[in-house]
């Protein structure tokens, strides 16, 4: 056909005649083509881009009492997004009799606790001194004061 609406949408019918499934186009041709261009792309790449906006800080780093990895998940209610970590035991539907400890945790609570612990460790004098000694072996220009100043910049992050 000639690229007009006719090759995608049936032409509007006269008011006195009706045909099954024929109606005025709901979506204009430009929007239709744009939507199908997006849909024809790689859906896995689109999904990955969407998820990357909200990184899970502890992906692959936290475990349950049984040693199962906890993976990031989320649910939505209206415009709110609720992020949490869930055990692979739950995802793989393992018998609950063998599970120990919590299987789901709110992401914000877990991440705040971990970041708080990292902050505490970075302020500990013995950690700063040990780090300075280890770095001194590789870089003689670094002293404990430089390491301390660098660690305190973590708060800014």
Taking CA 54 as the corner, what is the angle to CA 52 and CA 60, rounded to the nearest 5 degrees? Answer: 80
Higher pLDDT: 145 or 12? It is 145
pTM greater than 0.75: no
CA distance 33 to 118: 50
Please report the pLDDT score of residue 94 as a whole number.
Answer: 78
Q: What's the average model confidence in pLDDT over 132-156?
A: 79
pLDDT bin (cut points 50, 70, 90) of residue 1 is: very low
Q: Which two tokens stand for residue 115?
A: 């970041």
| pLDDT at residue 6 is higher than 50 | no
**Residue 14 has what DSSP assignment?**
P
- Over its C-alpha atoms, the chain yields an Rg (Å, rounded) of 28
10 Å CB burial of residue 148 (0-12, 13-18, 19+) is middle
Are 148 and 133 a contacting pair, CB within 8 Å? no
Sequence-distant (≥ 6) Cβ neighbours of residue 91 within 8 angstroms: 71
Query: How is the beta sheet containing 70-77 ordered, strand by strand?
Result: 70-77, 80-87, 104-106
Please report the pLDDT score of residue 47 as a whole number.
Answer: 60
Please report the pLDDT score of residue 127 as a whole number.
Answer: 84
Name which of 10-24, 93-107, 120-134 the model is least confident about: 10-24
* Residue range 48-91, pLDDT digits in tens: 555 545 567 787 788 888 788 888 888 888 888 888 888 888 88
Higher pLDDT: 154 or 2? It is 154
Candidates 37, 33, 35; CA nearest to 9 is 33
């Amino acid at each position: 056909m000639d690229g007009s609406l006719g090759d995608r949408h049936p032409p509007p019918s006269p008011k006195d005649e009706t045909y099954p499934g024929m109606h005025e186009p709901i979506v204009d041709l430009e929007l239709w083509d744009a939507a199908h261009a997006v849909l024809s792309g790689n859906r896995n790449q689109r999904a990955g881009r969407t998820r990357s906006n909200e990184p899970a800080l502890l992906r692959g780093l936290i475990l349950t009492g049984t040693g199962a990895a906890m993976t990031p998940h989320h649910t939505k209610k209206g415009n709110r997004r609720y992020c949490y970590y869930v055990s692979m035991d739950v995802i793989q539907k393992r018998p609950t009799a063998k599970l120990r400890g919590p299987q789901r945790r709110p992401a914000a609570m877990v991440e705040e606790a971990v970041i708080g612990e990292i902050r505490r460790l970075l302020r500990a004098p013995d950690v700063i001194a040990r780090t300075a000694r280890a770095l001194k072996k590789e870089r003689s220009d670094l002293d404990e004061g430089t390491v301390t100043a660098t660690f305190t910049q973590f708060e800014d992050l």
